[in-house]
Chains A and B, each alone.
Chain A
Amino acid sequence: MVFSDLATQTIVNGLLLGGIYALAALGLSLVFGIMDIVNLAHGHMLMVGAYIAILVFAATGITPLVGMVLAMALMFGLGVLLQKVLLKHVVDEGLEQPIIILFGLALILQNLGRVILGGDARTADIGIPGNGFDIGIAFMSFPRTVTFIVAVLLIAATWAFLQYTKTGQAIRATAQNRTAAKHMGINTDQIYVITLGIGTALAGAAGALLSMLFPIDPYVGWSYLLKTFAVVVLGGVGSVLGTLVGGLVLGVSENLGALYLGGGYRNVVSLLIFLAVLLVKPEGLFGGSGGGE
Chain B
Amino acid sequence: MAFIERAPGESVATDRRVLAVAALAVLWLITVPFTTTDSLTGLILTGLVFVMLGVSWNLLAGYAGQISLGHAAFFGMGAFVTAWLTTPTAGGFPESIQLPVIPAMLIGALAAALIALVIGPIIFRLSGHYFAIGTLALAAVIELIMLDRRDLTGGATGYYIQADLSLGEVVSHGDVMFYLTLIATIATVVITYLIVRGPTGLGMKAIHDDEDAASSLGVNPLKYKMYAFVVSSFFAGLAGALYGHYTLYINPQSTLAVTWTIDALVVVILGGMGTFSGPIFGAGLFLLLDNGLSAIVSGYSEAVEGILIILFIIFLPTGLYGLFKEYLIEETDGSDGAHD
Q: Which of B106-114, B134-142, B236-244 contacts A (4 or more CB under 8 A)?
A: B134-142
The closest CB in chain B to the CB of A292 belongs to B129
Instruction: With A100-B265, A293-B128 as known contacts, state yes or no: A275 contacts B306, CB within 8 Å.
Output: no
Within 8 A of B (CB), among A193-236: 222-223, 225-226, 229-230, 233
Contact B310 A104 (CB under 8 A): yes
Chain B residues, CB < 8 A from A262:
148
Instruction: With A107-B303, A267-B144 as known contacts, state yes or no: A226 contacts B67, CB within 8 Å.
Output: no
Q: Mark A273-293, 1 if CB is under 8 A from B, else 0.
A: 011001100110000000011
Q: In the docked arrangement, what's the CA distance between A101 and B138, Å?
A: 22
Contact A90 B136 (CB under 8 A): no
Q: In the docked arrangement, what's the CA distance between A223 and B306, Å?
A: 19
Q: Which of A62-70, A109-117, A125-133, A154-162 contacts B (4 or more CB under 8 A)?
A: A109-117
Q: In the docked arrangement, what's the CA distance between A264 and B144, Å?
A: 8
Count contacts on B: residues with CB < 8 A to the other chain: 40
Contact A293 B127 (CB under 8 A): yes
Interchain nearest-CB distance for A232 vs B (Å): 9
Chain B residues, CB < 8 A from A226:
133, 136-137, 140
Q: Which of A1-9, A47-55, A91-99, A170-178 contacts B (4 or more CB under 8 A)?
A: A91-99
Chain A residues, CB < 8 A from B262:
103, 107
Interchain nearest-CB distance for A32 vs B (Å): 7
Instruction: With A104-B306, A278-B134 as known contacts, state yes or no: A222 contacts B258, CB within 8 Å.
Output: yes
Interchain nearest-CB distance for B218 vs A (Å): 24
Q: Mark B240-271, 1 if CB is under 8 A from A, else 0.
A: 00000000000000000010001001000100
Interface flag for B151 (CB, 8 Å)? no
Interface flag for A146 (CB, 8 Å)? no
Interchain nearest-CB distance for A29 vs B (Å): 12
Q: In the docked arrangement, what's the CA distance between A92 and B56, Å?
A: 28
Chain B residues, CB < 8 A from A97:
313-314, 317
Interface flag for B132 (CB, 8 Å)? yes
Contact B309 A96 (CB under 8 A): no
Interchain nearest-CB distance for B245 vs A (Å): 27
Q: In the docked arrangement, what's the CA distance between A114 and B298, Å?
A: 12
Chain B residues, CB < 8 A from A182:
none
Contact B306 A111 (CB under 8 A): yes
Chain B residues, CB < 8 A from A111:
299-303, 306
Identify which of A95, A103, A272 contacts B265 (C-beta below 8 A). Answer: A103
Chain A residues, CB < 8 A from B133:
38, 225-226, 229
Within 8 A of B (CB), among A57-100: 86, 89-90, 95-97, 99-100
Interface flag for B305 (CB, 8 Å)? yes
Interchain nearest-CB distance for B242 vs A (Å): 25
Interface flag for A105 (CB, 8 Å)? yes
Contact B314 A90 (CB under 8 A): yes
Contact A107 B305 (CB under 8 A): yes
Instruction: With A104-B307, A267-B144 as known contacts, state yes or no: A96 contacts B273, CB within 8 Å.
Output: yes
Q: In the docked arrangement, what's the CA distance between A101 and B265, Å?
A: 12
Q: In the docked arrangement, what's the CA distance between A95 and B269, Å?
A: 14
Instruction: With A264-B144, A268-B145 as known contacts, state yes or no: A95 contacts B307, CB within 8 Å.
Output: no
Chain A residues, CB < 8 A from B141:
268, 271-272, 275
Q: In the docked arrangement, what's the CA distance between A111 and B273, Å?
A: 24
Interchain nearest-CB distance for A59 vs B (Å): 22
Chain A residues, CB < 8 A from B300:
111, 115
Chain B residues, CB < 8 A from A110:
302
The closest CB in chain A to the CB of B302 belongs to A111
Contact A268 B144 (CB under 8 A): yes
The closest CB in chain B to the CB of A232 belongs to B133
Contact B67 A108 (CB under 8 A): no
The closest CB in chain A to the CB of B129 belongs to A38
Identify which of B69, B137, B313 contacts A271 (C-beta below 8 A). Answer: B137
Q: In the docked arrangement, what's the CA distance between A230 and B134, Å?
A: 10
Q: In the docked arrangement, what's the CA distance between A101 and B310, Å?
A: 5
Interface flag for A106 (CB, 8 Å)? yes
Q: In the docked arrangement, what's the CA distance between A229 and B135, Å?
A: 13
Chain B residues, CB < 8 A from A40:
132
Interchain nearest-CB distance for A23 vs B (Å): 19
Contact B136 A222 (CB under 8 A): yes
Contact B125 A101 (CB under 8 A): no
Q: In the docked arrangement, what's the CA distance between A230 and B141, Å?
A: 13
Interchain nearest-CB distance for A122 vs B (Å): 18
Q: Provide 22 A-B residue pairs closer than 8 Å at the C-beta atoms, listed in order of the A residue.
A: A38-B132, A90-B314, A95-B67, A96-B67, A97-B317, A100-B310, A103-B265, A104-B307, A104-B309, A104-B310, A107-B262, A107-B305, A111-B299, A230-B137, A264-B144, A265-B144, A268-B141, A271-B141, A278-B125, A282-B130, A292-B129, A293-B128
List 20 additional contacts besides A96-B67, A100-B313; criterion CB under 8 Å: A32-B129, A86-B310, A95-B132, A97-B313, A103-B306, A107-B262, A107-B302, A107-B303, A108-B306, A111-B300, A223-B140, A225-B133, A226-B133, A230-B137, A265-B148, A278-B126, A279-B126, A283-B130, A293-B128, A293-B129
Kindly list the 3 A-B residue pairs having the minimum CB-CB distance in the complex, ordered from nearest: A107-B306, A111-B302, A111-B303
